[in-house]
Chain A
């Protein structure tokens, strides 16, 4: 089989696993009807919902119905909104992307130069400063960073709005908060990957040829150092979605993360399940794309 097919099959298999997991989780309580109904529901409500959910069928039939519904784009009905869960979630996606995309771009385009810079000044002052930032950025919880930013820029200096999603200025603090963790993480990764590559003999060869240092760094070293970095960038997307749940809560930003957290109070399992599934799909497809690119560009992977 060719590598694309194998990779594609693996993606489907993984997604199938995620789907099965949400199914099992939904049935774990033993009585999903009780989970979904408000506390004031009557026995008739109970019977009606149980029948409507197909819960009088056997588990295997339920599973097949569940799968076929998902394939047709039916993710169940939101209990809090009484509308299709997929619609409820889809409305919130733009808000999350508004934070997620700038954070993603910022973290990637800041981390690579900073990581290269730190690697080139190994153990120097610049390196230590950058690595201290990186350590702190990874160790501090994002909700605390968010609250600290609100305190400093919103409450004390009154420079930025502190919560909500009305103007461009509202984007600033949540985007910074969401960016810090992946930025810190990718700096560290770029630095260690660069340090490894700079030890290779082809770097010595490039220097011996008399190439300028910037050419050695950016053309010969960086291109190879980026391979592991790009893989991890794909994996960071799951982290961004998790981070969004917290950052959106801190800043009352109406995206899917806040929706997920609000759904806990409403016991809205279909909505949470939809969010989990959609993010897993987004994540798997991105990584499929990245891995396929590798198969194309890296001869070592193509050969193996």
Chain B
């Protein structure tokens, strides 16, 4: 496996200003139409999902067998605008379920990404800063995890620990830490050789001081890029696990389990699987576009 390093540009410059101001500045200078559209799409999705109860007056789990398998009104006369995306096999409103399902997906995505980031970055800093056997051991753990097909590991964990939201968040968080660890370690290694780092060291700066004032600010941009890319990875993983029946458990809606439930109706009511699938695709393409753009403009090597 090739050594991963991250070229760090403007290292000292970035240390001064807060990261969000840097982000806004980068966006002002280098944004593209695709990125702007993606930001708008993401804002709309987050808004719809967070305020799901205001957007839709319906209950996502309200069963109404008289209105089961209704098509979307814009596709067929049989539909009604009460259910803009149709209804599922038990007459629940698909649009409302997509909104509430998005809540779960984004919640799991956000929480797991944060846990993965904190754990992975911490281990990466230890690995790159302390070196020695700690480095060897942490990189060994990275190797072990990356040599496993993750979905199968997740299946095994779900079988052993049961299927609950906490287990799902844990599995999702576990799936991404090695990516942070590898990149952060590479960045720390390349920073170690820089003048400002050596100077801080020579002047007798404590480890804590060096880590917080000289390492962490320079880790922000690679970690931020990874957060965006891994958020997608986790949302896809969660939907995949829910699709396999080991993620979010029905009747709680999740885009993955909605697609799974829709599989039985592909012949008669294809919108059951297609609507949550399209929602998922729009979300992940938008996050992917932003992630790619961030990677390009910050020059972070992630693979």
Contacts and interface: CB of A to CB of B under 8 A. Distances in A.
B159 A264 contact: yes
A26 interface: yes
A285 B244 CA distance: 28
B156 to A, nearest CB: 5
Interface stretch (A17-25, A50-58, A61-69, A215-223): A17-25
Contact of A273 (B147, B156, B270, B277): B156
A155 B266 contact: yes
Contacts of A29: 160-161
A10 interface: yes
A135 B281 CA distance: 11
Contacts of A264: 155, 158-159, 244-246
A140 B285 contact: yes
B160 A189 contact: no
A249 B242 CA distance: 12
Interface in A120-157: 135-136, 138-144, 147-148, 150-151, 154-155
Nearest to A291: B1
Contact of A135 (B1, B148, B152, B285): B285
A144 B243 CA distance: 10
A260 B158 CA distance: 12
A253 to B, nearest CB: 14
B266 A269 contact: no
Interface stretch (A40-48, A105-113, A232-240): A232-240
A18 B149 CA distance: 11
Contacts of B244: 245-246, 249, 261, 264
A3 interface: no
B240 A143 contact: yes
Interface in B149-196: 149-153, 155-161
A241 interface: yes
Contacts of A172: none
Contacts of B146: 235, 238
A155 B263 CA distance: 12
A246 B151 contact: yes
A144 B161 CA distance: 27
A242 B303 contact: no
A28 interface: yes
A10 B153 CA distance: 21
A272 interface: yes
A266 B167 CA distance: 19
Given A232-B303, A245-B155, A276-B153, A14 B240 contact: no
A263 interface: yes
A195 to B, nearest CB: 11
B201 interface: no
Given A28-B160, A147-B266, A189-B303, A140 B148 contact: no
A229 to B, nearest CB: 11
A40 B143 CA distance: 41
Nearest to A189: B303
B150 A155 contact: no
B273 interface: yes
Given A139-B281, A261-B155, A279 B149 contact: yes
A164 interface: no
A228 interface: yes
Contact of B143 (A10, A155, A275): A10
A141 B266 contact: no
Contacts of B140: 13-14, 17
Nearest to A26: B160
A126 to B, nearest CB: 17
A242 B149 contact: yes
A2 B289 CA distance: 44
Nearest to A140: B281
What 10 A-B pairs have minimum CB-CB distances, sorted nearest first? A17-B144, A241-B149, A139-B284, A242-B151, A144-B277, A242-B149, A139-B288, A139-B285, A238-B149, A272-B156
Interface of A: 10, 13-15, 17-18, 21-22, 25-26, 28-29, 35, 135-136, 138-144, 147-148, 150-151, 154-155, 162, 189, 228, 231-232, 235, 238-239, 241-242, 245-246, 249-250, 260-261, 263-265, 267, 269, 272-273, 275-276, 279-280, 283-284, 287, 291
Given A10-B143, A141-B243, A264-B158, 6 more contacts: A28-B161, A135-B285, A147-B273, A238-B150, A279-B148, A283-B149
Interface of B: 1-2, 140-141, 143-144, 146-153, 155-161, 232, 236, 239-240, 243-246, 256, 259, 262-263, 266-267, 270, 273-274, 277, 280-281, 284-285, 287-289, 292, 303
